[in-house]
Amino acid sequence: MKEFSVLIGGKAGDGIKQAGIMAAKIFGELGYRVFLYDDYPSLIRGGHNFCIIRASKEEVLSHNNQVDLILALNRETIERHQHRLKKGGEIIYSSRIEGVSRGVGIGFEEIVKELGGIPIMKNSAAIGALSALLGIERQVLDGVFEKNINKQLDLNKEIAGRAYAEIKEVLFKVERLDSEPLPLFTGNEAIALGAVNAGLDLYIAYPMTPATSILHFLAEQQDRLGVVTVHPENEISVATMALGAAYAGARTMVGTSGGGFALMTETVSFAGQAEIPILFVECQRAGPGTGVPTYTMQADLLFVLNSGHGDFPRLVVAPGDAEEAFYLSGLALDAAWHFQIPAFLLSDKHLSESIFSFTYPEGEREKPPMVAWKGGEGQYKRYAFTESGISPLAFPGQKGCIVKATSYEHDEYGITTEEPEKIMKMQDKRLKKKEGLVHFLEKTEQVKVYGDRDSKTCLVCWGSTKGACVEAALELGLKVVQPLVVEPFPERQFRQALGSSNRLIGVEVNATGQLSRLLSSYGIHMDSTILRYDSLPFTPDDLKGRLKEATS
> Residue 366: what pLDDT?
80
Mean pLDDT of 107-112: 93
Average pLDDT of the chain to the nearest whole number: 95
Which amino acid is located at 284 in the chain?
Q
Q: Phi first, then psi: give them for residue 25, nearest 5 degrees.
A: -70, -30
| Chain centroid offset of residue 125 CA | 31
d(CA 452, CA 85): 31
DSSP 438: H
d(CA 287, CA 487): 23
d(CA 209, CA 261): 12
Pairing state of beta strands 479-483 and 457-460?
Answer: parallel
Looking at the DSSP assignment, which residues form a beta bridge with residue 104? Answer: 92
Query: Which of 467 and 100 is assigned the larger pLDDT?
Result: 467
Residues 6+ apart with CB under 8 A from 201: 227, 228, 245, 250, 251, 252
> Residue 269: what pLDDT?
98
Residue % of the chain over a pLDDT of 90: 90
> Residue 361: what pLDDT?
81
Query: Which of 299 and 100 is assigned the larger pLDDT?
Result: 299
Check if the beta carbon of residue 210 is closer than 8 Å to that of residue 238: no
Domains of the chain: 3-166 (3.40.920.10), 183-443 (3.40.50.970), 447-551 (3.40.50.920)
> Residue 168: what pLDDT?
86
> Residue 155: what pLDDT?
94
Angle of the 153-166 helix axis to the 138-148 helix axis, nearest 10: 160
Confidence of residue 123 (pLDDT cuts 50, 70, 90): very high
Query: Which of 104 and 279 is assigned the larger pLDDT?
Result: 279
Confidence of residue 278 (pLDDT cuts 50, 70, 90): very high
Confidence of residue 170 (pLDDT cuts 50, 70, 90): confident
Residue % of the chain over a pLDDT of 70: 100
Mean pLDDT of 216-230: 96
Q: Phi first, then psi: give them for residue 66, nearest 5 degrees.
A: -85, 140
d(CA 75, CA 371): 61
pLDDT tens string 264-275: 999 999 999 999
Note the residue count of the chain: 552
d(CA 418, CA 410): 8
Using alpha carbons, select from 415, 414, 432, 441 the residue that is nearest to residue 311.
432
Mean pLDDT of 122-145: 94
pTM for the full predicted model = 0.96
pLDDT tens string 335-374: 999 999 999 999 999 999 999 999 988 777 788 899 999 8
Q: pLDDT at residue 45 above 80?
A: no
Count each helix (H run) and each strand (E run) in the chain, helices first: 19, 20
Looking at the DSSP assignment, which residues form a beta bridge with residue 315? Answer: 343
Using alpha carbons, select from 395, 485, 393 the residue that is nearest to residue 437.
485
Q: pLDDT at residue 1 above 70?
A: no
> Residue 293: what pLDDT?
95
Q: pLDDT at residue 91 above 90?
A: yes
> Residue 552: what pLDDT?
73
Looking at the DSSP assignment, which residues form a beta bridge with residue 282? Answer: 256, 346
Strands (E), 386-496: 447-451, 457-460, 479-483, 485-487
| Chain centroid offset of residue 88 CA | 34
pLDDT tens string 398-427: 998 999 999 999 999 999 999 999 999 999
CB atoms near residue 262 (< 10 Å)? 16
Query: Which of 149 and 278 is assigned the larger pLDDT?
Result: 278
